[in-house]
Amino acid sequence: MTSTGRPEGTLFINGQWVAPAGDASEPVVNPATEAVLATVPVGTDADCNAAIAAAREAFDHGPWPIMPGAERADLMTRFWDALDKRHGDIVDLVIAETGAPRPLAEGLHFQTSMDHLAFFAAAARWNPVESLPIDVTPKPTGGKLLGGGVQVHEPFGVVTGITPFNFPFFIDVAKIGPAMATGNTVVLKPSPFTPLEAFVLAEAAAEAGIPDGVLNVITGGTDVGRRLTTDPRVDMVTFTGSDTVGAAVSEQASASIKKVLLELGGKSALIVRRDADLESAAQFAVGQYTLQAGQGCSLCTRHLVDEAVKAEFLDLMEAYTRQLQLGDPAEVTTTMGPLIRESQRTRVSDYVDAARQQGARVVTGGQRPKGLDRGFFYEPTIVTDVGHGWPVAQEEIFGPVAVVHGFRTDDEAVAVANDSEFGLSGAIFSADSGTAYEMALRIRTGGVAINGGSGRMNSWAPFGGNKRSGIGREYGLEGVREYTQTKVITFNAG
């Protein structure tokens, strides 16, 4: 029988809340207050083994992969309902765990994730059978054979989902939603910094009557991640995180030839042409480099501005930055929260200090904010007069730091935008939308927003990156199909 309501210190395996095999645990810390929110188990090899076995059993012998899509869709809709009932708890958890200000936690973290989950539930109804063109082949005995065929889109099997700290509910949903909708079974491992939303997902799955073993949740860090990406019983790994760990995951999964989906880091460029609406562009720029305290994969953190308007643009950016209210995200007035941990704050300040030493000009920010002694806060920081090859301009900092470069021609702007190991997103502001579109086509990324165009988070829009930003897409038809493999069945139509 499936249980709901998580007893402390347990993991979710085969529809049950079970005590972990080991006794190691670690605290989950509120990054704004440094208070300990909870203590969660560090999963062991034995726990991974049990979770993978449960997912394997639920795939190989359970009803989930073979039940009609409409039935799976109904169960996923009940899953959605169970989460919706927990709306307030989930938003509070996101605020406490990630440091997201309330409007961001309500909007992108919760509501957009729920929209995505509704999309995935609907996708479970999509007919996975497609007709192929008729085939006419000469028979050796004379005459011709009329062949027909279909292609079907089948689940991979056992999928392990490994997620980062910055958008835990959102990315956990991005993994389990399409995997479950298409009939796979899942073992989810959230970041050790932000594991609690995954437990809420497990509670909701149990309440909704999702069959045992379809969703399992294990907490832990690198060791658990390594186990979930190497076990031969796992068919597919879906990973979101840094490019370095993504490369390790790819290598770990290769020995047993698993399908790997990688959503990795970014260092995306915003291009501001001289004919742009500078106020809108500067507002967008500040929103980009400070959302979730700059801890977002697809944020534009390199701002390339036509030299003719760069000084004015910097003034506007500085003015909008000064309007931000740093503080505890639980306060309604707060518009920017903390970084996730002290180690991340040190990393951010090291990049800014190194750039300063190399001769960069820090326009604003560049230190810990005064008066915020607890919590891992860092001032929103704009840096300019920076070489394109400097670490601050090339590496993903994952903090509230914008690097502003000048450019003279569109070709130069496109070349600098492409001068990156990453290729996740990008943006262009210009009154000449046709030219902006042509420039967007030349930027090697998974998406470009023109004049603040939204829609990248639309459930129908495939999301993902080029180069070191990843392999594969999430959302949309393409994203759902990532969790399936194609089989062709032919028949004699004569």
Task: Kindly list the residues in this chain that would bind ligand NAD in the complex (CB under 6 A).
Answer: 162-167, 171, 189, 191-192, 221-222, 225-226, 229, 240-242, 245, 248-249, 252, 263-266, 297, 396, 398, 424, 465, 470
List C-alpha distances in Å: 157 to 162, 200, 259, 446: 16, 24, 11, 27
Q: How far is the CB of 224 from ligand NAD (least distance, A)?
A: 7
Active site annotation includes 48: no
Q: Which of 207, 263, 396, 482 is catalytic?
A: 263
Question: Could you tell me how many helices (H) and strands (E) the chain has, helices first?
Answer: 16, 23
Pick 253 or 272: Cβ nearer ligand NAD: 253
d(CA 190, CA 165): 8
CA dihedral in degrees (398, 323, 367, 282; nearest 10)? 50
Q: How far is the CB of 375 from ligand NAD (least distance, A)?
A: 18
Beta bridge partners, 227, equal none
Q: How far is the CB of 249 from ligand NAD (least distance, A)?
A: 5
d(CA 129, CA 48): 34
Pick 225 or 462: Cβ nearer ligand NAD: 225
d(CA 184, CA 156): 6
Pick 44 or 384: Cβ nearer ligand NAD: 44
Residue 424 and residue 297 in contact, taking contact as beta carbons nearer than 8 Å = yes
Q: How far is the CB of 347 from ligand NAD (least distance, A)?
A: 10
For tokens 């393409």, what's the residue?
478
Selection from 156, 124, 121 nearest residue 237 by Cα: 156
Pick 171 or 210: Cβ nearer ligand NAD: 171
- Closest CB to ligand NAD: residue number: 225
Q: What type of residue is 438?
A: E
Selection from 366, 398, 395 nearest residue 379 by Cα: 366
Q: Which of 51-73 are b and which e, b meaning 16 or more Cβ less than 10 Å from the residue's Cβ? A: bbbbbbebbeebebbebebeebb
Pick 298 or 384: Cβ nearer ligand NAD: 298
Q: How far is the CB of 244 from ligand NAD (least distance, A)?
A: 7
- Provide the strand spans (E) within 365-432: 381-384, 401-407, 422-423, 426-429
Q: How far is the CB of 241 from ligand NAD (least distance, A)?
A: 3
Pick 40 or 171: Cβ nearer ligand NAD: 171
Look at residue 330 and give its three-state secondary structure.
coil
d(CA 298, CA 288): 9
Q: Which of 48, 97, 197, 297 is catalytic?
A: 297
Phi-psi region at 365: left, alpha or beta (left = phi > 0; alpha = psi -120 to 50): left
Q: How far is the CB of 160 from ligand NAD (least distance, A)?
A: 9
Is beta strand 466-467 parallel, antiparallel or unpaired with respect to 422-423? Answer: antiparallel
Pick 410 or 482: Cβ nearer ligand NAD: 482
Catalytic machinery residues: 263, 297
